[in-house]
Amino acid sequence: MQETYELGPFHMGRLTKGSDLLSGLLEVAKEKGITSGILWAIGGLESVRFAYYDQALKSYKEVKLEKGLEILSLVGNISQKGDLPFIHAHIIVSDEEHTWGGHLMEGSKVFALEYHILELRGRTLVRGFDPETGLFLWEKAK
């Protein structure tokens, strides 16, 4: 699948302390009507919840860390799953001794966060279930 998009507006902002990271970013996408986009964020978390995908079992294994962490990288995209915007993002976090990373899940509590979203225009990326991988992947643009 190859699609061409026009660059739309560039949105920047921050989430409030104590908010849920993934839910907060999703709310921004809904409020601004973003159906396709590229997402980055930096900041810190009071706790994080992420997962990695076990390809053999076709299921996610979750990890939750309850401590202050620095976000080293958060990158992802915005597309549509059903009638709603969907955020697929990966996160790398660290403390003074360790680094962890994986697929961002709901349940990460913001300490401070600045986001950047580059909206894409022209077509809307749509996710559908792929039985070969067990994942919801881009299947078409509308």
pTM attached to this predicted model: 0.91
What integer is the mean pLDDT of 20-29?
A: 98
- Show Cβ contacts of residue 82 under 8 Å, excluding neighbours closer than 6 positions: none
Domain assignment of residue 134, yes or no? no
How many Å apart are CA 33 and CA 68, to the nearest integer?
32
How many Å apart are CA 52 and CA 56, to the nearest integer?
12
State residue 142's pLDDT score. 59
| Number of alpha carbons in the 13 Å side-chain half-sphere of residue 74 | 29
State residue 78's pLDDT score. 97
Q: pLDDT tens, 29-43?
A: 999 999 999 999 999
Domain assignment of residue 140, yes or no? no
What integer is the mean pLDDT of 4-26?
A: 94
Domain assignment of residue 75, yes or no? yes
CB-CB neighbours of 90 under 10 Å: 14
For β-strands 37-54 and 99-104, DSSP reports them as antiparallel
- One-letter amino acid for residue 95 of the chain: D
Place of tokens 């403390």: 95
Provide the domain count of the chain: 1
Give me the domain span that covers residue 28: 11-116
Q: pLDDT tens, 60-105?
A: 999 999 999 999 999 999 999 988 999 999 999 999 999 999 999 9
Confidence of residue 123 (pLDDT cuts 50, 70, 90): confident
Q: Which CA distances in Å does 36 have to 8, 12, 13, 125, 140?
A: 10, 16, 18, 6, 12
Q: What is the mean pLDDT of the chain?
A: 94
